Structure 1
Amino acid sequence: MEIFLDSIKNSIYKFSRNKVSIIGFFMVAMVIIVAIFAPLLAPYPKAAGAFIDFSNASKPPSRAHFFGTDVVGRDILSRVMFAFRGALIMGLGVIAAIVPFGVLVGLFAGYYYGTWIDTVVMRITDIFVTLPALLLALAVASFGRPSLFNSMMAVAFAWWPFYARLTYSMASSVRNETFVKAAQTIGAHKAHIIFKEILPNCLAPIFTKMALEIGWVILVGATLSFVGLGEQPPTAALGTMVSDGAQYLPAQWWISLFPALAICFMILAFNLLGDGVKSMLSTEVL
Protein backbone atom coordinates (compact mmCIF):
# COMPACT_ATOMS: atom_id res chain seq x y z
CA MET A 1 0.00 0.00 0.00
CA GLU A 2 2.83 2.37 0.86
CA ILE A 3 4.50 1.64 -2.47
CA PHE A 4 1.24 2.45 -4.27
CA LEU A 5 0.84 5.74 -2.37
CA ASP A 6 4.47 6.67 -3.05
CA SER A 7 3.89 6.00 -6.76
CA ILE A 8 0.85 8.31 -6.78
CA LYS A 9 2.76 11.03 -4.93
CA ASN A 10 5.65 10.74 -7.36
CA SER A 11 3.29 10.98 -10.35
CA ILE A 12 1.56 14.06 -8.92
CA TYR A 13 4.95 15.62 -8.24
CA LYS A 14 6.05 15.05 -11.84
CA PHE A 15 2.82 16.56 -13.11
CA SER A 16 3.08 19.59 -10.83
CA ARG A 17 6.59 20.36 -12.06
CA ASN A 18 5.16 21.11 -15.50
CA LYS A 19 3.58 24.52 -14.89
CA VAL A 20 2.08 24.70 -18.36
CA SER A 21 0.25 21.44 -17.73
CA ILE A 22 -1.26 22.88 -14.57
CA ILE A 23 -2.72 25.61 -16.76
CA GLY A 24 -4.06 22.94 -19.09
CA PHE A 25 -5.60 21.07 -16.16
CA PHE A 26 -7.51 24.15 -15.02
CA MET A 27 -8.56 24.93 -18.60
CA VAL A 28 -9.98 21.42 -19.01
CA ALA A 29 -11.64 21.65 -15.59
CA MET A 30 -13.23 24.94 -16.61
CA VAL A 31 -14.60 23.43 -19.83
CA ILE A 32 -16.05 20.47 -17.93
CA ILE A 33 -17.64 22.69 -15.28
CA VAL A 34 -19.16 24.98 -17.90
CA ALA A 35 -20.49 22.01 -19.87
CA ILE A 36 -22.10 20.41 -16.81
CA PHE A 37 -23.58 23.58 -15.35
CA ALA A 38 -24.37 25.36 -18.63
CA PRO A 39 -28.08 25.80 -17.75
CA LEU A 40 -27.03 27.67 -14.61
CA LEU A 41 -24.05 29.59 -15.98
CA ALA A 42 -25.33 30.61 -19.41
CA PRO A 43 -26.76 34.14 -19.43
CA TYR A 44 -29.53 33.13 -21.86
CA PRO A 45 -30.18 29.36 -21.54
CA LYS A 46 -33.09 29.46 -24.00
CA ALA A 47 -30.64 30.43 -26.75
CA ALA A 48 -29.27 26.88 -26.75
CA GLY A 49 -32.39 25.56 -28.48
CA ALA A 50 -35.05 26.62 -30.95
CA PHE A 51 -35.19 30.22 -29.80
CA ILE A 52 -35.78 33.29 -31.99
CA ASP A 53 -35.46 36.93 -31.04
CA PHE A 54 -35.25 39.03 -34.20
CA SER A 55 -35.21 42.24 -32.17
CA ASN A 56 -31.68 41.29 -31.05
CA ALA A 57 -30.54 39.63 -34.27
CA SER A 58 -26.93 40.10 -35.45
CA LYS A 59 -25.90 42.24 -32.51
CA PRO A 60 -22.12 42.72 -32.10
CA PRO A 61 -20.42 41.94 -28.77
CA SER A 62 -21.73 44.15 -25.99
CA ARG A 63 -22.32 44.16 -22.24
CA ALA A 64 -25.66 42.45 -22.77
CA HIS A 65 -24.20 39.82 -25.13
CA PHE A 66 -20.46 39.37 -24.60
CA PHE A 67 -20.04 37.25 -27.75
CA GLY A 68 -22.81 38.98 -29.71
CA THR A 69 -25.88 37.31 -31.20
CA ASP A 70 -26.50 35.31 -34.37
CA VAL A 71 -28.85 36.11 -37.23
CA VAL A 72 -31.93 34.96 -35.32
CA GLY A 73 -31.02 36.73 -32.09
CA ARG A 74 -29.58 33.85 -30.06
CA ASP A 75 -26.82 34.68 -27.58
CA ILE A 76 -23.58 33.15 -28.88
CA LEU A 77 -21.91 32.88 -25.48
CA SER A 78 -24.78 30.78 -24.18
CA ARG A 79 -24.68 28.55 -27.24
CA VAL A 80 -20.91 28.07 -26.89
CA MET A 81 -21.37 27.00 -23.27
CA PHE A 82 -23.95 24.39 -24.23
CA ALA A 83 -21.88 23.31 -27.24
CA PHE A 84 -19.05 22.31 -24.89
CA ARG A 85 -21.26 19.37 -23.90
CA GLY A 86 -21.38 17.85 -27.36
CA ALA A 87 -17.68 18.50 -27.94
CA LEU A 88 -16.73 16.73 -24.70
CA ILE A 89 -19.04 13.81 -25.45
CA MET A 90 -17.39 13.53 -28.86
CA GLY A 91 -13.84 13.63 -27.54
CA LEU A 92 -14.26 11.45 -24.47
CA GLY A 93 -16.79 9.09 -26.06
CA VAL A 94 -14.67 8.32 -29.11
CA ILE A 95 -11.55 7.74 -27.01
CA ALA A 96 -13.50 5.49 -24.63
CA ALA A 97 -14.80 3.46 -27.58
CA ILE A 98 -11.63 3.05 -29.63
CA VAL A 99 -8.97 2.53 -26.95
CA PRO A 100 -10.22 -0.85 -25.62
CA PHE A 101 -10.73 -2.21 -29.14
CA GLY A 102 -7.48 -0.84 -30.58
CA VAL A 103 -5.44 -1.95 -27.57
CA LEU A 104 -6.96 -5.43 -27.67
CA VAL A 105 -6.15 -5.80 -31.37
CA GLY A 106 -2.60 -4.57 -30.84
CA LEU A 107 -2.03 -6.83 -27.83
CA PHE A 108 -3.02 -10.02 -29.60
CA ALA A 109 -1.14 -9.14 -32.77
CA GLY A 110 1.95 -8.27 -30.73
CA TYR A 111 1.76 -11.45 -28.65
CA TYR A 112 1.47 -13.57 -31.78
CA TYR A 113 4.26 -11.63 -33.50
CA GLY A 114 5.59 -13.47 -36.55
CA THR A 115 2.52 -15.69 -37.00
CA TRP A 116 -0.33 -15.54 -39.49
CA ILE A 117 -2.47 -13.78 -36.85
CA ASP A 118 0.06 -10.96 -36.70
CA THR A 119 0.24 -10.74 -40.49
CA VAL A 120 -3.52 -10.66 -41.11
CA VAL A 121 -4.43 -8.30 -38.26
CA MET A 122 -1.66 -5.78 -38.88
CA ARG A 123 -2.12 -5.72 -42.66
CA ILE A 124 -5.78 -4.82 -42.11
CA THR A 125 -4.66 -2.18 -39.61
CA ASP A 126 -2.13 -0.82 -42.09
CA ILE A 127 -4.86 -0.37 -44.70
CA PHE A 128 -6.81 1.82 -42.27
CA VAL A 129 -3.71 3.76 -41.23
CA THR A 130 -2.87 4.65 -44.84
CA LEU A 131 -6.27 6.30 -45.28
CA PRO A 132 -6.56 9.91 -44.01
CA ALA A 133 -8.59 9.69 -40.80
CA LEU A 134 -10.63 12.82 -41.53
CA LEU A 135 -11.59 11.75 -45.05
CA LEU A 136 -12.48 8.26 -43.84
CA ALA A 137 -14.63 9.72 -41.05
CA LEU A 138 -16.38 12.02 -43.52
CA ALA A 139 -17.06 9.11 -45.87
CA VAL A 140 -18.45 6.87 -43.13
CA ALA A 141 -20.55 9.64 -41.56
CA SER A 142 -22.14 10.44 -44.93
CA PHE A 143 -23.80 7.01 -45.03
CA GLY A 144 -25.88 7.56 -41.91
CA ARG A 145 -28.32 10.12 -40.61
CA PRO A 146 -26.43 13.17 -39.33
CA SER A 147 -26.25 13.05 -35.54
CA LEU A 148 -23.75 13.21 -32.70
CA PHE A 149 -23.80 9.45 -32.21
CA ASN A 150 -23.24 8.66 -35.88
CA SER A 151 -20.42 11.18 -36.14
CA MET A 152 -18.80 9.59 -33.06
CA MET A 153 -19.02 6.16 -34.66
CA ALA A 154 -17.52 7.52 -37.88
CA VAL A 155 -14.55 9.05 -36.07
CA ALA A 156 -14.08 5.88 -34.00
CA PHE A 157 -14.07 3.78 -37.17
CA ALA A 158 -11.26 5.91 -38.57
CA TRP A 159 -9.23 6.34 -35.36
CA TRP A 160 -8.85 2.90 -33.74
CA PRO A 161 -5.92 1.70 -35.93
CA PHE A 162 -3.55 4.23 -34.37
CA TYR A 163 -3.98 2.62 -30.95
CA ALA A 164 -3.69 -0.84 -32.42
CA ARG A 165 -0.41 0.13 -34.10
CA LEU A 166 0.99 1.75 -30.95
CA THR A 167 0.06 -1.20 -28.72
CA TYR A 168 1.38 -3.68 -31.27
CA SER A 169 4.74 -1.94 -31.32
CA MET A 170 4.97 -2.04 -27.52
CA ALA A 171 3.62 -5.59 -27.10
CA SER A 172 5.85 -7.14 -29.75
CA SER A 173 8.84 -5.72 -27.89
CA VAL A 174 7.70 -6.57 -24.35
CA ARG A 175 6.93 -10.21 -25.28
CA ASN A 176 10.67 -10.87 -25.46
CA GLU A 177 11.37 -9.59 -21.94
CA THR A 178 12.63 -11.97 -19.27
CA PHE A 179 9.52 -11.76 -17.06
CA VAL A 180 7.31 -12.79 -19.99
CA LYS A 181 9.57 -15.73 -20.81
CA ALA A 182 9.51 -16.72 -17.14
CA ALA A 183 5.69 -16.68 -17.09
CA GLN A 184 5.62 -18.87 -20.20
CA THR A 185 8.12 -21.28 -18.65
CA ILE A 186 6.00 -21.88 -15.55
CA GLY A 187 2.96 -22.54 -17.74
CA ALA A 188 1.02 -19.32 -17.22
CA HIS A 189 -2.16 -19.02 -19.29
CA LYS A 190 -1.93 -16.88 -22.43
CA ALA A 191 -4.60 -14.51 -21.14
CA HIS A 192 -2.57 -14.02 -17.95
CA ILE A 193 0.57 -13.25 -19.94
CA ILE A 194 -1.21 -10.82 -22.26
CA PHE A 195 -3.25 -8.90 -19.68
CA LYS A 196 -1.12 -9.24 -16.55
CA GLU A 197 2.42 -9.19 -17.92
CA ILE A 198 2.38 -7.37 -21.27
CA LEU A 199 -0.51 -4.90 -20.99
CA PRO A 200 0.70 -3.06 -17.84
CA ASN A 201 3.98 -2.30 -19.61
CA CYS A 202 2.13 -0.72 -22.52
CA LEU A 203 -0.16 1.59 -20.56
CA ALA A 204 2.07 4.68 -20.18
CA PRO A 205 2.29 5.55 -23.91
CA ILE A 206 -1.37 4.63 -24.37
CA PHE A 207 -2.54 7.01 -21.63
CA THR A 208 -0.27 9.73 -22.99
CA LYS A 209 -1.70 9.32 -26.49
CA MET A 210 -5.24 9.38 -25.11
CA ALA A 211 -4.71 12.68 -23.31
CA LEU A 212 -3.04 14.30 -26.30
CA GLU A 213 -5.60 13.15 -28.86
CA ILE A 214 -8.86 14.13 -27.18
CA GLY A 215 -8.46 17.66 -28.52
CA TRP A 216 -7.85 16.44 -32.05
CA VAL A 217 -10.88 14.16 -31.91
CA ILE A 218 -12.92 17.19 -30.87
CA LEU A 219 -11.55 19.05 -33.90
CA VAL A 220 -12.54 16.22 -36.26
CA GLY A 221 -15.99 16.14 -34.66
CA ALA A 222 -16.32 19.89 -35.16
CA THR A 223 -15.32 19.41 -38.80
CA LEU A 224 -18.11 16.88 -39.28
CA SER A 225 -20.54 19.35 -37.71
CA PHE A 226 -19.19 22.10 -39.96
CA VAL A 227 -20.17 20.16 -43.09
CA GLY A 228 -23.55 19.15 -41.63
CA LEU A 229 -22.73 15.57 -40.59
CA GLY A 230 -22.75 16.11 -36.81
CA GLU A 231 -25.30 17.47 -34.36
CA GLN A 232 -28.25 19.06 -36.12
CA PRO A 233 -29.94 22.42 -35.46
CA PRO A 234 -31.25 23.74 -33.21
CA THR A 235 -28.75 21.90 -30.97
CA ALA A 236 -25.74 24.09 -30.27
CA ALA A 237 -22.60 22.63 -31.89
CA LEU A 238 -19.34 24.51 -32.32
CA GLY A 239 -18.69 23.33 -35.87
CA THR A 240 -22.24 24.14 -36.96
CA MET A 241 -21.97 27.61 -35.42
CA VAL A 242 -18.76 28.32 -37.32
CA SER A 243 -20.38 27.11 -40.54
CA ASP A 244 -23.55 29.17 -40.01
CA GLY A 245 -21.56 32.35 -39.44
CA ALA A 246 -19.14 31.85 -42.33
CA GLN A 247 -21.61 33.15 -44.88
CA TYR A 248 -21.85 36.46 -43.01
CA LEU A 249 -18.12 37.15 -42.90
CA PRO A 250 -16.51 39.62 -42.58
CA ALA A 251 -19.36 41.95 -41.59
CA GLN A 252 -20.68 39.77 -38.75
CA TRP A 253 -17.34 38.27 -37.75
CA TRP A 254 -18.34 37.41 -34.20
CA ILE A 255 -20.80 34.69 -35.23
CA SER A 256 -17.99 32.41 -36.44
CA LEU A 257 -15.02 33.78 -34.51
CA PHE A 258 -16.05 32.94 -30.95
CA PRO A 259 -17.13 29.33 -31.63
CA ALA A 260 -13.85 28.86 -33.54
CA LEU A 261 -11.90 30.25 -30.60
CA ALA A 262 -13.78 27.88 -28.30
CA ILE A 263 -12.61 24.93 -30.42
CA CYS A 264 -9.02 26.22 -30.26
CA PHE A 265 -9.35 26.66 -26.50
CA MET A 266 -10.42 23.05 -26.01
CA ILE A 267 -7.66 21.69 -28.24
CA LEU A 268 -5.04 23.76 -26.42
CA ALA A 269 -6.40 22.72 -23.02
CA PHE A 270 -6.22 18.98 -23.73
CA ASN A 271 -2.83 19.27 -25.41
CA LEU A 272 -1.38 21.05 -22.38
CA LEU A 273 -2.96 18.48 -20.08
CA GLY A 274 -1.60 15.67 -22.24
CA ASP A 275 1.89 17.11 -21.96
CA GLY A 276 1.55 16.91 -18.19
CA VAL A 277 0.33 13.31 -18.38
CA LYS A 278 3.37 12.51 -20.51
CA SER A 279 5.66 14.00 -17.87
CA MET A 280 3.79 12.22 -15.09
CA LEU A 281 4.13 8.81 -16.71
CA SER A 282 7.74 9.23 -17.78
CA THR A 283 10.35 7.01 -16.18
CA GLU A 284 12.93 9.74 -15.92
CA VAL A 285 14.54 9.90 -12.50
CA LEU A 286 13.94 13.30 -10.92
Structure 2
Amino acid sequence: MRRTKIGKWWYKFSRNPLSVVGLIIVVGVVFCAVFAPWVSPYPEHAGPYVNYREANQPPSLAHPFGTDIFGRDVLSRVFFAFRSSLLMGIVVLSIVVPVGVTLGLLAGYFKESWVDILIMRITDVFLSVPPLILALAITSVLKPNLTNAMIAVSVMWWPWYTRLVYGMATSLRNEYFVQSAELIGASKFHILFREILPNCVSTILTKMTLDMGWVILIGAALSFVGLGEQPPKPALGTMVADGAKYLPEYWWISVFPGLAIMLIVLGFNLLGDGIGDLFSLEEA
Protein backbone atom coordinates (compact mmCIF):
# COMPACT_ATOMS: atom_id res chain seq x y z
CA MET A 1 0.00 0.00 0.00
CA ARG A 2 2.79 2.40 0.98
CA ARG A 3 4.83 1.49 -2.12
CA THR A 4 1.81 2.21 -4.30
CA LYS A 5 1.34 5.62 -2.70
CA ILE A 6 5.04 6.47 -3.07
CA GLY A 7 4.85 5.38 -6.70
CA LYS A 8 1.90 7.72 -7.30
CA TRP A 9 3.77 10.59 -5.67
CA TRP A 10 6.81 9.96 -7.82
CA TYR A 11 4.69 9.78 -10.96
CA LYS A 12 3.08 13.13 -10.19
CA PHE A 13 6.41 14.67 -9.22
CA SER A 14 8.26 13.37 -12.30
CA ARG A 15 5.67 14.82 -14.67
CA ASN A 16 7.62 18.07 -14.41
CA PRO A 17 11.15 17.40 -15.78
CA LEU A 18 12.52 20.55 -14.15
CA SER A 19 11.50 19.26 -10.73
CA VAL A 20 13.48 16.08 -11.38
CA VAL A 21 16.45 18.22 -12.41
CA GLY A 22 16.13 20.14 -9.15
CA LEU A 23 16.02 16.89 -7.16
CA ILE A 24 19.15 15.63 -8.94
CA ILE A 25 20.98 18.91 -8.21
CA VAL A 26 20.01 18.85 -4.53
CA VAL A 27 20.96 15.18 -4.13
CA GLY A 28 24.28 15.86 -5.87
CA VAL A 29 25.07 18.82 -3.62
CA VAL A 30 24.16 16.88 -0.47
CA PHE A 31 26.27 13.92 -1.64
CA CYS A 32 29.30 16.13 -2.30
CA ALA A 33 28.87 17.82 1.10
CA VAL A 34 28.48 14.61 3.11
CA PHE A 35 31.29 12.75 1.35
CA ALA A 36 33.54 15.75 0.75
CA PRO A 37 36.63 14.14 2.38
CA TRP A 38 36.38 11.25 -0.08
CA VAL A 39 35.14 12.88 -3.31
CA SER A 40 37.39 15.96 -3.09
CA PRO A 41 40.62 15.52 -5.07
CA TYR A 42 42.61 17.41 -2.40
CA PRO A 43 40.72 17.31 0.93
CA GLU A 44 43.66 18.79 2.83
CA HIS A 45 43.17 22.03 0.83
CA ALA A 46 40.00 22.75 2.84
CA GLY A 47 42.12 23.73 5.83
CA PRO A 48 45.16 25.93 6.47
CA TYR A 49 47.10 24.79 3.40
CA VAL A 50 49.58 26.85 1.35
CA ASN A 51 51.51 25.89 -1.79
CA TYR A 52 52.63 28.95 -3.72
CA ARG A 53 54.22 26.87 -6.46
CA GLU A 54 50.74 25.85 -7.61
CA ALA A 55 49.06 29.21 -7.00
CA ASN A 56 46.69 30.76 -9.56
CA GLN A 57 46.69 27.78 -11.91
CA PRO A 58 43.84 27.82 -14.48
CA PRO A 59 41.38 24.90 -14.75
CA SER A 60 43.11 21.68 -15.78
CA LEU A 61 42.81 17.92 -15.38
CA ALA A 62 44.73 18.11 -12.11
CA HIS A 63 42.61 21.03 -10.85
CA PRO A 64 39.24 21.13 -12.70
CA PHE A 65 38.29 24.46 -11.06
CA GLY A 66 41.85 25.79 -10.91
CA THR A 67 43.71 26.93 -7.80
CA ASP A 68 43.51 30.11 -5.71
CA ILE A 69 46.25 32.55 -4.72
CA PHE A 70 47.47 30.16 -2.00
CA GLY A 71 47.64 27.15 -4.33
CA ARG A 72 44.51 25.50 -2.91
CA ASP A 73 42.27 23.45 -5.18
CA VAL A 74 39.05 25.43 -5.75
CA LEU A 75 36.93 22.33 -6.47
CA SER A 76 37.87 20.72 -3.16
CA ARG A 77 37.07 23.90 -1.27
CA VAL A 78 33.70 24.21 -3.03
CA PHE A 79 32.77 20.69 -1.93
CA PHE A 80 33.64 21.48 1.69
CA ALA A 81 31.88 24.85 1.45
CA PHE A 82 28.68 22.97 0.59
CA ARG A 83 28.76 21.69 4.17
CA SER A 84 28.55 25.09 5.84
CA SER A 85 25.96 26.26 3.29
CA LEU A 86 23.64 23.31 3.91
CA LEU A 87 24.23 23.55 7.66
CA MET A 88 23.17 27.20 7.50
CA GLY A 89 19.92 26.33 5.74
CA ILE A 90 19.06 23.35 7.94
CA VAL A 91 19.76 25.06 11.28
CA VAL A 92 18.00 28.31 10.35
CA LEU A 93 14.86 26.56 9.12
CA SER A 94 14.88 24.24 12.15
CA ILE A 95 14.68 27.35 14.33
CA VAL A 96 12.39 29.68 12.39
CA VAL A 97 9.75 27.20 11.22
CA PRO A 98 8.59 26.04 14.69
CA VAL A 99 8.69 29.61 16.03
CA GLY A 100 7.00 31.24 13.04
CA VAL A 101 4.38 28.51 12.61
CA THR A 102 3.43 28.49 16.31
CA LEU A 103 3.08 32.28 16.43
CA GLY A 104 1.08 32.28 13.20
CA LEU A 105 -1.29 29.62 14.52
CA LEU A 106 -1.86 31.51 17.77
CA ALA A 107 -2.45 34.85 16.05
CA GLY A 108 -4.71 33.34 13.39
CA TYR A 109 -6.87 31.31 15.76
CA PHE A 110 -7.22 34.07 18.35
CA LYS A 111 -7.89 36.71 15.69
CA GLU A 112 -8.84 40.21 16.85
CA SER A 113 -7.63 39.48 20.38
CA TRP A 114 -4.64 40.90 22.22
CA VAL A 115 -2.66 37.80 21.16
CA ASP A 116 -3.29 38.58 17.50
CA ILE A 117 -2.48 42.27 17.89
CA LEU A 118 0.74 41.69 19.85
CA ILE A 119 2.15 38.96 17.60
CA MET A 120 1.26 40.54 14.27
CA ARG A 121 2.45 44.04 15.19
CA ILE A 122 5.84 42.64 16.20
CA THR A 123 5.86 40.63 12.98
CA ASP A 124 5.08 43.74 10.94
CA VAL A 125 7.98 45.58 12.57
CA PHE A 126 10.42 42.87 11.50
CA LEU A 127 8.91 42.64 8.01
CA SER A 128 9.27 46.40 7.53
CA VAL A 129 13.07 46.10 7.60
CA PRO A 130 14.78 44.66 4.48
CA PRO A 131 15.93 41.13 5.45
CA LEU A 132 19.55 41.46 4.32
CA ILE A 133 19.94 44.84 6.02
CA LEU A 134 18.61 43.40 9.28
CA ALA A 135 20.97 40.41 9.05
CA LEU A 136 23.94 42.69 8.34
CA ALA A 137 23.02 44.91 11.30
CA ILE A 138 22.86 41.94 13.67
CA THR A 139 26.06 40.25 12.49
CA SER A 140 27.98 43.52 12.52
CA VAL A 141 27.66 43.75 16.33
CA LEU A 142 28.50 40.07 16.87
CA LYS A 143 31.70 38.13 16.38
CA PRO A 144 31.84 37.10 12.70
CA ASN A 145 31.40 33.33 12.47
CA LEU A 146 28.94 30.77 11.14
CA THR A 147 26.98 30.46 14.40
CA ASN A 148 26.27 34.18 14.66
CA ALA A 149 25.38 34.30 10.96
CA MET A 150 22.78 31.59 11.63
CA ILE A 151 21.39 33.60 14.55
CA ALA A 152 21.14 36.74 12.40
CA VAL A 153 19.33 34.98 9.56
CA SER A 154 16.99 33.25 12.03
CA VAL A 155 16.01 36.57 13.61
CA MET A 156 15.07 37.99 10.20
CA TRP A 157 13.34 34.89 8.76
CA TRP A 158 10.68 33.77 11.27
CA PRO A 159 8.16 36.58 10.44
CA TRP A 160 7.61 35.19 6.95
CA TYR A 161 6.31 31.92 8.38
CA THR A 162 4.22 33.77 10.95
CA ARG A 163 2.56 35.84 8.22
CA LEU A 164 2.03 32.78 5.98
CA VAL A 165 0.47 30.58 8.67
CA TYR A 166 -1.53 33.50 10.07
CA GLY A 167 -3.39 33.86 6.77
CA MET A 168 -4.17 30.15 6.57
CA ALA A 169 -5.17 29.82 10.23
CA THR A 170 -7.48 32.83 9.93
CA SER A 171 -9.47 31.14 7.19
CA LEU A 172 -9.36 27.63 8.70
CA ARG A 173 -10.64 28.74 12.13
CA ASN A 174 -14.14 29.13 10.66
CA GLU A 175 -14.22 25.72 8.96
CA TYR A 176 -16.73 23.13 10.13
CA PHE A 177 -14.15 20.63 11.38
CA VAL A 178 -12.69 23.30 13.72
CA GLN A 179 -16.13 24.31 14.97
CA SER A 180 -17.00 20.65 15.55
CA ALA A 181 -13.83 20.16 17.62
CA GLU A 182 -14.75 23.23 19.70
CA LEU A 183 -18.29 21.90 20.29
CA ILE A 184 -17.08 18.56 21.63
CA GLY A 185 -14.77 20.38 24.05
CA ALA A 186 -11.40 19.79 22.40
CA SER A 187 -8.50 21.72 23.95
CA LYS A 188 -6.94 24.72 22.23
CA PHE A 189 -3.72 22.73 21.81
CA HIS A 190 -5.64 19.96 20.01
CA ILE A 191 -7.42 22.42 17.72
CA LEU A 192 -4.23 24.30 16.84
CA PHE A 193 -1.86 21.36 16.29
CA ARG A 194 -4.20 18.48 15.39
CA GLU A 195 -6.89 20.24 13.38
CA ILE A 196 -5.48 23.44 11.84
CA LEU A 197 -1.75 22.67 11.49
CA PRO A 198 -2.12 19.49 9.36
CA ASN A 199 -4.01 21.55 6.79
CA CYS A 200 -1.07 23.96 6.55
CA VAL A 201 1.70 21.37 6.22
CA SER A 202 1.79 21.20 2.42
CA THR A 203 2.24 24.96 2.06
CA ILE A 204 4.83 25.07 4.84
CA LEU A 205 6.89 22.25 3.30
CA THR A 206 6.82 23.92 -0.10
CA LYS A 207 8.01 27.21 1.39
CA MET A 208 10.72 25.45 3.39
CA THR A 209 12.14 23.89 0.23
CA LEU A 210 12.12 27.22 -1.58
CA ASP A 211 13.56 29.04 1.45
CA MET A 212 16.45 26.60 1.75
CA GLY A 213 18.04 28.11 -1.33
CA TRP A 214 17.34 31.69 -0.24
CA VAL A 215 18.76 31.13 3.25
CA ILE A 216 21.94 29.74 1.68
CA LEU A 217 22.06 32.79 -0.60
CA ILE A 218 21.73 35.18 2.36
CA GLY A 219 24.43 33.21 4.19
CA ALA A 220 26.69 33.54 1.16
CA ALA A 221 26.04 37.29 1.10
CA LEU A 222 27.07 37.55 4.76
CA SER A 223 30.26 35.57 4.18
CA PHE A 224 30.95 37.71 1.08
CA VAL A 225 31.29 40.78 3.31
CA GLY A 226 33.27 38.86 5.94
CA LEU A 227 30.47 38.24 8.45
CA GLY A 228 30.06 34.49 7.96
CA GLU A 229 32.38 31.48 8.11
CA GLN A 230 35.94 32.70 8.67
CA PRO A 231 39.11 31.62 6.80
CA PRO A 232 40.78 29.24 6.43
CA LYS A 233 37.48 27.33 6.50
CA PRO A 234 35.93 27.48 3.02
CA ALA A 235 32.71 29.42 2.43
CA LEU A 236 31.23 30.10 -0.98
CA GLY A 237 30.65 33.81 -0.36
CA THR A 238 34.18 34.30 0.98
CA MET A 239 35.64 32.49 -2.04
CA VAL A 240 33.73 34.76 -4.41
CA ALA A 241 34.90 37.85 -2.51
CA ASP A 242 38.55 36.71 -2.50
CA GLY A 243 38.50 35.92 -6.20
CA ALA A 244 36.77 39.18 -7.14
CA LYS A 245 39.98 41.04 -6.30
CA TYR A 246 41.78 39.29 -9.15
CA LEU A 247 39.19 39.56 -11.91
CA PRO A 248 39.39 39.14 -14.84
CA GLU A 249 42.89 37.61 -14.89
CA TYR A 250 42.18 34.80 -12.41
CA TRP A 251 38.46 34.52 -13.13
CA TRP A 252 38.08 30.90 -12.01
CA ILE A 253 38.75 31.74 -8.33
CA SER A 254 35.40 33.53 -7.99
CA VAL A 255 33.38 32.29 -10.98
CA PHE A 256 33.18 28.63 -9.94
CA PRO A 257 32.10 29.32 -6.32
CA GLY A 258 29.56 31.81 -7.73
CA LEU A 259 28.22 29.14 -10.07
CA ALA A 260 28.01 26.76 -7.09
CA ILE A 261 25.81 29.25 -5.23
CA MET A 262 23.62 29.63 -8.31
CA LEU A 263 23.37 25.85 -8.65
CA ILE A 264 22.23 25.37 -5.04
CA VAL A 265 19.58 28.10 -5.25
CA LEU A 266 18.36 26.82 -8.63
CA GLY A 267 18.17 23.23 -7.38
CA PHE A 268 16.10 24.04 -4.29
CA ASN A 269 13.81 26.37 -6.24
CA LEU A 270 13.09 23.74 -8.89
CA LEU A 271 12.58 21.11 -6.18
CA GLY A 272 10.23 23.44 -4.29
CA ASP A 273 8.16 24.06 -7.41
CA GLY A 274 7.84 20.31 -7.90
CA ILE A 275 6.77 19.73 -4.31
CA GLY A 276 4.23 22.55 -4.61
CA ASP A 277 2.81 21.00 -7.79
CA LEU A 278 2.71 17.59 -6.08
CA PHE A 279 0.64 18.86 -3.17
CA SER A 280 -1.67 20.84 -5.44
CA LEU A 281 -2.36 17.73 -7.50
CA GLU A 282 -2.86 15.72 -4.31
CA GLU A 283 -5.45 18.21 -3.05
CA ALA A 284 -7.18 18.32 -6.41
- Could you tell me the TM-score, scaled by structure 2's length? 0.97
Residue 200 of structure 1 aligns with an amino acid whose one-letter code is P
Which deviates more, 165-174 or 12-21? 12-21
In the alignment, what sits opposite 1:126? 124
Counterpart residue number, 1:181: 179
- Alignment counterpart, residue 150 of structure 1, candidates 148, 161, 175: 148
How large is the RMSD of aligned CA atoms in angstroms? 1.3
Please say which of residues 162-171 and 135-144 is displaced more in the overlay: 135-144
Match of 2:77 among 62, 76, 79: 79
The residue aligned with 2:263 is 265
Say whether the 8 Å CA contact 1:11–1:281 is kept in structure 2.
no
Question: Which of 25, 39, 42 is the matching residue for 2:40?
Answer: 42
- Letter of the aligned partner of 2:277 in structure 1? S
1:10 shift after superposition: 3.5
- 1:249 aligns with one of 239, 247, 250: 247
| 1:130 Cα offset (Å) | 1.2
Shift of 1:128: 0.6
**Matching of residues 8-27 of structure 1 within 5 Å:** 8-27=6-25
Measure the CA separation in 1 of the matches of 2:110 and 2:3: 35
Cα distance between partner residues in 1 of 2:60 and 2:119: 57
Q: Counterpart amino acid of 2:173?
A: R
Corresponding residue for residue 206 of structure 2? 208
2: distance between equivalents of 1:19 and 1:245? 34
Seq. identity, %: 56
Structure 2 distance, partners of 1:104, 1:12, is 31
Partner Cα separation in structure 2 for residue 283 and residue 200 of structure 1: 17
Kindly state the Cα deviation for residue 266 of structure 1 after the two structures are TM-superposed.
Answer: 0.4
Q: Cα offset for 1:206?
A: 0.7
Corresponding residue of 1:89: 87
Question: How much has 1:108 moved relative to structure 2?
Answer: 0.4
What is the match of residue 138 of structure 2?
140
| Equivalent position to 2:29, from 20, 28, 31 | 31
Q: What pairs with 1:217-228 in structure 2 (closer than 5 Å)?
A: 217-228=215-226
The 3 A distance-change label for structure 1 pair 114 and 10 is farther
Q: For the structure 1 residues 103 and 5, does the alpha-carbon distance in structure 2 shift closer, same or farther, using more than 3 Å as the test?
A: farther
| Aligned match of 2:227 | 229
Corresponding letter in the other structure for 1:204 = S
Separation in structure 1 between the aligned mates of residue 244 and residue 225 of structure 2, nearest angstrom = 12
Comparing 229-238 with 87-96, which one deviates more in the overlay? 87-96
Q: CA deviation at 1:63?
A: 1.4
Q: Deviations over 1:182-209 (max 9, x none)?
A: 1111111111111111111111111110
How far apart, in 2, do the equivalents of 1:279 and 1:78 lie?
35
Specify the alignment match of 1:194 in structure 2. Answer: 192
Alignment of 1:107-118 (within 5 A): 107-118=105-116
Distance across 1 between alignment mates of 2:38 and 2:275: 31
Equivalent residues of 1:69, 1:76 under 8 A apart: yes
Question: What is the CA–CA distance in structure 2 between the aligned matches of 1:103 and 1:266, rounded to whole Å?
Answer: 25
How far does residue 284 in structure 1 lie from its aligned partner after superposition?
A: 5.9
For 1:241, give the aligned amino acid. Answer: M
Structure 1, unaligned runs of 5 or more: none
Partner Cα separation in structure 2 for residue 131 and residue 57 of structure 1: 42
Residues 127-155 of structure 1: per-residue CA shift (max 9 Å, x gap)? 11111111101111111111111101100
Q: CA deviation at 1:90?
A: 0.8
Q: What SS does structure 2 have at the residue aligned with 1:46?
A: helix
Give the Cα–Cα distance (whole angstroms) in 1 for the partners of residues 134 and 201 of structure 2: 27
Aligned mates of 1:29, 1:75 — CA distance in 2: 23
Q: CA deviation at 1:11?
A: 2.8
TM-score normalised to structure 1 length: 0.96
Cα distance per residue 1:88-110 (max 9 Å; x no partner):
00112111110000000000001
Partner secondary structure for residue 282 of structure 1 = helix
Q: CA deviation at 1:13?
A: 2.6
Shift of 1:12: 2.8
User: How many angstroms does 1:242 deviate by?
Assistant: 0.4
